[in-house]
Amino acid sequence: MVVETSIASVSDVNAEKHGRQWFLEACPTESEYQFSYEGSVMQYLHLIPISLLTAVVLIFTAQNLELVTVAFLNAEVTVPRAALVMAIYVLGMFSGGFVVSLIKSLLKGASQK
pTM for the whole thing? 0.49
pLDDT for 99-109, tens place per residue? Answer: 888 888 888 87
The residues spanned by each domain of the chain are: 16-63, 67-113
The residue that leads in pLDDT, 41 or 50, is: 50
Q: 86, 65 in Cβ contact below 8 A? A: no
- Report H helices in the chain: 7-18, 20-26, 30-63, 81-112
